[in-house]
Chain A
Amino acid sequence: MTLTRTDVENPLPLARALVGSRGRGNVWLMLALAGVFMAVGLASISLSRPSDADLWAGFAVWIVCALGAALVLKWRLQSHDPLLLALSMFLSGWGLVAIERLAPAFADRQALWLLVSVLAMLAIALFPQVLRWLRGYRYSLLAAALLLLSATIVLGRNPSGFEHAPRLWLGIGAFYFQPSEIMKVILVAFMASYLAEQSAAFRAHADQAPGAAGLSLRLIGPIILMWLLSMVILVWQRDLGTAMLFFIVFLLLLYLSCGDPRLVFSGALLVLAAGAVAYQLFDVVQLRVDIWLDPWPEADGRAYQIVQSLMAFGAGGIAGAGPGLGSPGYIPVVHSDFIFAAIAEEWGLLGVIAILCSFGVLAWRGLAIALAQRGSAFHRLLAAGLTLTLLVQALMIMAGVLKLLPLTGVTLPFISYGGSSLFVCHIMVGLLLRLSAGAR
């Protein structure tokens, strides 16, 4: 990265310990602090649940993952951005503790997924061919992902086994996977590589008529077609949160590559229009919007979950009730979409601020990496697209849980329970690590 200064200018030893020898973050210090934070949380949980001896298995897995990943990256990928690893391990470690607290039965499974995810992240960070494959085989990859996604219509299952629950998973034995999660990476890579190839055409248009950048259908037709196809499948499957996420990321990437501000305004109008149509068509959207506008008449009925979530935020206060000492169990299925409310109750406003800061810094580093990709428009758009996907997803669910936006059922990246989500978030971090170290 070009933004670093030499340490000669910084004489304070404390500052040097905080920023590390390269001035880009001290991964060891941050992982150690995250580990202490997790250990203290688990100890506090074990006090409220003395009989449970199995509590520390996930923590052991986390230590192995964090130290292993940090060592491997230090040896094999010297110039990577250390904040990415520190933040992703901090957030997923916090997620492990929260899941251990909220749904102990799922904690071991999540720890296993963390191990798999970190291995995948390292594999992607260490092998530069992955970026070439994402670009070279983009149509095949997208077709395969669409196939998997449409397979959920016929073969889809839901691990919870409820009759009316959305069937978004593909299952083999005890192993479940959500194709819409992996679609995030593949769709962003597809859009980035396609838009990168058109960037010369975009620029030529902009030169001819400044202000009216070229958004001709010929340029972006194929991309809209592919995107519509995946949207149809997602809407068919009622995975509306993911559909909304794709919509927003698609618009942002289009804006980044052509720079026409009208896109943002018309995009916002389109989102509203799509919301209005969905309100008429889907009961679930109608429900979400209704309880967003006024949850209180149905506080013990259809709006129970969101009302309990708000109460959890209130009960948490500034410092929180303490891990294991609150009662977030009142929120139904709190360990997946609503995990942010549980964190707000047990770690309080301070914990919420820490999580917001972590996502904010993650987004800042990701966009800085995108800016530093001078050679390749594909790499720049890919880094920006992956970062924006993580950021928009985190904002959507955090705002949803706080009733700032209608609730959209997406996971909180790194923290929520869910193997596919954890896996894909780490794949994104792996790609960003690769790009931060220089893609060649």
Chain B
Amino acid sequence: MNIEVTIFILRLIAGLSLAGFLLALFVVIWRNAGGAIQLPAAAGFEQGHLTCEQPALADEAQRYSLRPILTMGRAEANTIVIRDDYASAKHARIVLEQGRWWLEDRGSRNGTQLNGETIASRAILADGDEIGIGKYRYRLHLNREYTAL
């Protein structure tokens, strides 16, 4: 075989093995970064949860732990997937900012209700609040030490 071809093949293999090594590194980083977000819930620091009160469906998980960012909507990528024609794909989300939980409407077509009233853009949440999207109603339960903040 021509020596230049041999060297080219060798360099190709070298490049591929190097790329494979780096890929293996980055996948581990990627997964660890994902795991870090879930750490508070996993470590038993659950700060509160949502329950679905209406409509009561037996076949769906009706208790959702609060995460630093919790999204709601019709799209499958949301933390809480709402199968309702009145829900937008990206409808609303609950975020933790400066020690408080906020409900944010993400420009939904039919609006997000907090205790029966449509919110303008965002509102601070408190223990026992009711969040309404379409015909669904969710009740917020914050843990005691957290409501004190």
Chain A interface (Cβ < 8 Å from any Cβ of B): 2-5, 10, 15, 18-19, 23-26, 29-30, 33-34, 36-37, 40-41, 43-44, 47, 83, 90, 319, 322-323, 325, 347, 350-351, 354, 357-358, 361, 364, 368
Contact = CB atoms under 8 A, between A and B. Distances in A.
A319 B15 contact: yes
B21 A34 contact: yes
Interface string B22-60: 111101110110111011001100000000000000000
A33 B25 contact: no
A47 B3 contact: yes
A279 to B, nearest CB: 40
A23 B36 CA distance: 13
B29 A361 contact: yes
Nearest to B42: A2
9 contacts: A5-B34, A18-B27, A23-B31, A25-B28, A37-B14, A40-B14, A47-B7, A322-B10, A357-B22
Contact of B7 (A10, A29, A44, A358): A44
Contacts of B28: 18-19, 23-25, 83
A364 B25 CA distance: 11
B36 A3 contact: yes
Say whether chain B's binding surface is mostly helix, strand, loop, or mixed.
Answer: helix
B20 interface: yes
A361 B42 CA distance: 24
Given A3-B35, A30-B24, 16 more contacts: A10-B31, A19-B27, A19-B28, A19-B31, A25-B25, A25-B28, A29-B24, A37-B14, A37-B17, A37-B21, A40-B10, A83-B28, A319-B15, A351-B18, A354-B18, A364-B29
B25 to A, nearest CB: 5
Nearest to A362: B25
Contacts of B14: 37, 40-41, 44, 323, 347
Nearest to A87: B25
A44 B10 contact: yes
B6 interface: yes
Contacts of A368: 32
Contact of A18 (B23, B32, B39): B23
B27 A15 contact: yes
Contact of B39 (A2, A47, A354, A357): A2
Contacts of B21: 30, 33-34, 37, 90, 354
Contacts of A36: 13, 17
Contacts of A19: 24, 27-28, 31
A26 B26 CA distance: 12
Contact of B11 (A10, A30, A319): A319
Nearest to A26: B24
A47 B34 CA distance: 45
B3 A3 contact: no
A209 to B, nearest CB: 24
Contacts of A350: 15, 18
Contact of A322 (B11, B13, B29, B35): B11
Contacts of A90: 21
A30 B20 CA distance: 8
A33 B17 contact: yes
A4 B32 contact: yes
Contacts of B20: 29, 33
B25 A361 contact: yes
A319 B8 CA distance: 12
A96 to B, nearest CB: 15
Give the one of B7, B17, B21, B23 with max A CB within 10 A: B21
Contact of A33 (B24, B38, B42): B24
A3 B22 contact: no
A145 to B, nearest CB: 34
A51 to B, nearest CB: 16
Give the one of A4, A33, A83, A351 with max B CB within 10 A: A33
A238 B35 CA distance: 47
Given A24-B28, A25-B28, A29-B24, A4 B35 contact: yes
Contacts of B24: 18-19, 25-26, 29-30, 33
Contact of B38 (A5, A37, A354): A5
A314 to B, nearest CB: 19
A83 B11 contact: no
Give the one of B6, B25, B35, B43 with max A CB within 10 A: B25
Contacts of A40: 10-11, 13-14, 17
A47 B1 CA distance: 12
A19 B36 CA distance: 16
Given A5-B38, A37-B18, A357 B31 contact: no
Contacts of B17: 33-34, 36-37, 40
A433 B48 CA distance: 37
A3 B11 contact: no
A14 to B, nearest CB: 9
B49 to A, nearest CB: 20
Contacts of B39: 2-3
A70 to B, nearest CB: 14
